[in-house]
Amino acid sequence: MINDEYFLAALRLAAGNDPMPGHVSAAARDAYGLRVPQAVTAAPAECAAPHGVRGIDGCQLVRFVAAGLTFDLEVTVGDGLIDVAGQIVPHPGEGTHVDVRTPHLTLTRRLARTGQFAATGLPPGWLSVVCHRPGHAPVQTRWVRIRP
């Protein structure tokens, strides 16, 4: 039955009854401003808890690895906003900062000596963290979708 619905949706779309909303097009164009030149992209990796699972308190745990760095992100959605508590190991070195980014808002944080950082009050949707180390190419996590 679902295949019928799927086929009907194709017919409706082909009939031009479901045009793309303007805000979707605008968001796609704005996304170009989010590129990070020369960045290395950190891919998702297995962590102690399976990737992307929700923790016991409703938080989501995700791990990314690249360029010898491991990003552990604990993401919590509460009151319609996202809080991120993260750690980069090993510590990338003195003078490192991270950008916690969504398409609409970027929060910049210095790393603690433990490699930890936190950012709160981000809008739900796509999220990425970029690590800027002096003398090295930036490392960015893949974009991950966070919704309640």
Partner 1 sequence: MQEPRDPAELLKAAADDDQTAWDELESRFGPRMWAVARVCGLTEADAADAVQGAWLRLLEHLHDIREPSGVGAWLATTTRREALLILRKELPRAPFFDVALDSDPAAAVLEADSSRILWRTVSTLHEPCRTLLQLVATDLGYQQVALRLGVPLGSVGPTRTRCLEKLRTLISSQETVQ
Q: How would you classify the pairing of strands 116-122 and 81-89?
A: antiparallel
What is the Cα–Cα distance from 35 to 42, expressed in whole angstroms? 14
User: Binding residues for partner 1, how many (CB under 8 A)?
Assistant: 39
Interface with partner 1 (CB under 8 A), residue from 74, 107, 126, 138: 126
Judged by CB under 8 A, does residue 21 bind partner 1?
yes
Binders in 29-68 for partner 1, by CB under 8 A: 29, 31-32, 34-35, 41
Give me the half-sphere count of Cα atoms (radius 13 Å) on the Cβ side of residue 56: 0
Q: Is the peptide bond before 90 cis (omega within 30 degrees of 0)?
A: yes
Is 17 a binder of partner 1 (CB under 8 A)? yes
The answer to whether 47 and 87 have CB atoms below 8 angstroms apart is no
Report if residue 80 touches partner 1, rule: CB under 8 A.
Answer: no
* Sequence letter at residue 103: P
List interacting residues with partner 1 (CB under 8 A).
Answer: 2-15, 17-21, 23-25, 27-29, 31-32, 34-35, 41, 103, 125-126, 128, 140, 142-143, 145, 147
